[in-house]
Amino acid sequence: MSFDPAMVTTALELPGYKIVRNLGVVRGIVVRSRSVFGTMGASLQTLVGGNITLFSQLCEKTRSESFALMMDHAEKHGANGIICARYDANELMQGVTEVLAYGTAVVVEKI
């Protein structure tokens, strides 16, 4: 069974479904550092201005991985949905960032 990303929401409910069981908080954590080459490339992009694509790609990859880990955690607990999904990010030390995806794992049934 593969967890359906469409069953993850930031809302308190999944429209068309009723929550039959709350399984608690699930999370996915990724800690990532910037490479020296990536930092140099991004620094060059700041000279031109606009979107710093090297950092955007790094952020998107990190968020995507933490989201996938959160869904895996939910699936291991028997959930088929996640409500109240959120992201949090913290700099642990210079150049090292933690991204946390978390939410409430639930079992839902179609109404």
Whole-number Å distance between alpha carbons of 100 and 57: 17
Count the residues in the chain.
111
CATH code for the part of the protein at 5-33+64-110: 3.30.110.70
17-69 residue pLDDT tens: 999 999 999 999 999 876 554 555 555 555 555 666 666 777 889 999 999 99
- The pLDDT of residue 96 is 81
Q: Does residue 71 contact residue 106 with C-beta atoms inside 8 Å? A: no
Residues forming a β-bridge with 20:
none
Q: Domain segments of the chain: what residues? A: 5-33+64-110
- The pLDDT of residue 44 is 53
- Per the prediction, the chain carries an average pLDDT of 86
Q: Which residues contact 53 (CB under 8 A, 6 or more apart)?
A: 45
Q: Which residues contact 92 (CB under 8 A, 6 or more apart)?
A: 31, 98
